[in-house]
Amino acid sequence: MSDLHKCGSILVTGASRGIGLQIVETLMKSNPRPGKVIAAARDRSRAKELNRLAESHPDLYIVTLDVTKKDDIEAAFKEVESLVGDKGLNCLVNNAGIKVDSTLSEVTAEEMMKNFEVNAVSPLMVTKAFLPLLRKAAKQGTGMGIHRAAIVNVSSARASIQRKDTHVKWYPYCVSKAALNMVTKCLSSDLLGEGILCVSVNPGWVNTDMGGPQAHLTKEESIDNILKVISNLSEKDNGGFLNHTGETLPW
């Protein structure tokens, strides 16, 4: 995890609980760590653990961000801009997500749209809004990675179209994460020339509200792995779909 300090600033969406909160918590406890850690939560009043963490770490910044709300995105952009200043933003982690479970017989258009909105459309809109800050950071560095400018989309193994055991009870979720992977691929080629890297990362099956208690990984195990992957990102990873253990997953 030692290269994390080369990242001047990192913004994590969906940091009120689960994987997002654990990323922020692990970063705040890491030494060395990124210069500025910014946690985005849609409702601070309900993010009790995040608020507690901020009490013991006054240098943790919290911004309000419902990733589906344009006004929130614009307000969060202004706040982050004032925090990072001329250095820009080095790493954006699009982690906020929901999982709508629905089989073929149950699934509705509304469920599909809701999952698609939060998991695929919103990461693209958040990224688009924060591009000026990522570009500012990218102009000041060379090579590719979190030391310069990177977008990390938290995807899922369920996004993999080539997987044989695709969970057909999760139409909205699987489809939305497959779409997110295409967002990653498009951004990675669009932004390559500007030195901004984009990857999808699968955190594994993690014990969170979403993953449930039977999950294979604790939050700590998954996030230790994810942060290793993130800190080692380089040009060869651009546009990739990486497992939390570092290997490439089939699309």
According to the binding rule CB under 6 A, does residue 37 interact with ligand NDP?
Answer: no
Question: Residue 87 Cβ, how far from ligand NDP at the closest point, in Å?
Answer: 25
* E strand or H helix that includes residue 186: helix 171-190
* E strand or H helix that includes residue 12: strand 9-12
- Quote the CA–CA distance of 185 and 189 in Å, as a whole number: 7
Q: Which of 7, 9, 11, 16 binds ligand NDP (CB under 6 A)?
A: 16
Collapse the DSSP code of 201 into the 3-class scheme (helix H, G, I; strand E, B; otherwise coil) and give the result.
Answer: strand
* Residue given tokens 């497959």 in the structure block: 178
Collapse the DSSP code of 136 into the 3-class scheme (helix H, G, I; strand E, B; otherwise coil) and give the result.
Answer: helix
Residues 6+ apart with CB under 8 A from 72: 42, 64, 65, 66
Count how many residues are written for the chain.
251
- Give residues 120-179 in contact with ligand NDP (rule: CB under 6 A): 154, 156
Q: Which of 8, 10, 12, 20 binds ligand NDP (CB under 6 A)?
A: 20
**For residues 67 and 196, which CB has a smaller minimum distance to ligand NDP in the complex?**
67
**For residues 40 and 138, which CB has a smaller minimum distance to ligand NDP in the complex?**
40
Q: Which of 8, 97, 145, 195 binds ligand NDP (CB under 6 A)?
A: 97
Question: Residue 117 Cβ, how far from ligand NDP at the closest point, in Å?
Answer: 8
**For residues 123 and 239, which CB has a smaller minimum distance to ligand NDP in the complex?**
123
Residues 6+ apart with CB under 8 A from 79: 63
Strand partners, 153: 94, 200
**For residues 99 and 147, which CB has a smaller minimum distance to ligand NDP in the complex?**
99
**For residues 46 and 139, which CB has a smaller minimum distance to ligand NDP in the complex?**
46
Say which DSSP state 195 is in: T
According to the binding rule CB under 6 A, does residue 91 interact with ligand NDP?
Answer: no
Catalytic residue among 116, 173, 205, 241: 173
Rg (CA), the chain: 17
Binding mask 47-86 toward ligand NDP (x if CB under 6 A, else -) reads ------------------xxxx------------------
Determine the angle formed by the axes of helices 171-190 and 122-138, rounding to 10 degrees: 20
Active site residue 61: no
- Quote the CA–CA distance of 52 and 66 in Å, as a whole number: 20
- Give residues 188-247 in contact with ligand NDP (rule: CB under 6 A): 203, 205-206, 208-211, 215
User: Which residues make up the interface to ligand NDP (CB under 6 A)?
Assistant: 13-14, 16-20, 42-43, 65-68, 95-99, 118, 154, 156, 203, 205-206, 208-211, 215
Q: Active-site residues: which are they? A: 173
